Amino acid sequence: MNEEYEPIETLVIKQEYDDNSVIHRAETVTCEAAYAMAMIERWGLVMGATDGEDSAGRQQLKLMTVDELVTRAFDVSIAAFTMARERGLMVSTPLPLREVDTDCEDKEEVA
């Protein structure tokens, strides 16, 4: 596969109190997208759609196309999170105590 992928920007934050670093991606998926991708990962090779009946009257299934599978996974995910919010099942997470300084002098490019 010779597809070109856009590089993912990351930010490495060195902790002042120990030698460990924390890596933060500059771009990440939402909860809805992560849930949809989990469904695609789990059911991607077996997700079927109705495809009529065979000569004995039994229902036939065909594998969903990639577009059908992805569309269905995201539709289900968005509907699930929308309902969770409507029913008050989502809670807010507190923000970090300090902001990340993106203009720090120790910042370095990682190839």
Per residue, the 3-state secondary structure of 32-89, as one string, reads: HHHHHHHHHHHHCCCCEEEEEECCCCCEEEEECCHHHHHHHHHHHHHHHHHHHHHCCC
Q: Which residue has the higher pLDDT, 51 or 38?
A: 38
Cα 10 to Cα 102: distance, rounded to the nearest angstrom:
11
Averaged pLDDT, 74-82: 95
pLDDT for 76: 94
Instruction: Answer whether 81's CB lies under 8 Å from 91's CB.
Output: no
Averaged pLDDT, 80-109: 74
Instruction: Answer whether 6's CB lies under 8 Å from 25's CB.
Output: no
Q: Which pTM value belongs to this model?
A: 0.57
pLDDT for 58: 86
**Where does the pLDDT of residue 83 fall: very low under 50, low under 70, confident under 90, or very high at 90 and above?**
very high
Q: Which residue has the higher pLDDT, 6 or 66?
A: 66
At 31, which helix (H) or strand (E)?
A: helix 31-43
- Asked if pLDDT for residue 100 goes beyond 80, the answer is no
**Where does the pLDDT of residue 106 fall: very low under 50, low under 70, confident under 90, or very high at 90 and above?**
low
| pLDDT, tens digit (0-9, with 9 covering 90-100), for 14-25 | 656 566 666 666
pLDDT for 50: 79
Cα→Cα distances 2→5, 19, 99, Å? 9, 38, 39
Cα 71 to Cα 65: distance, rounded to the nearest angstrom:
10
pLDDT for 35: 93
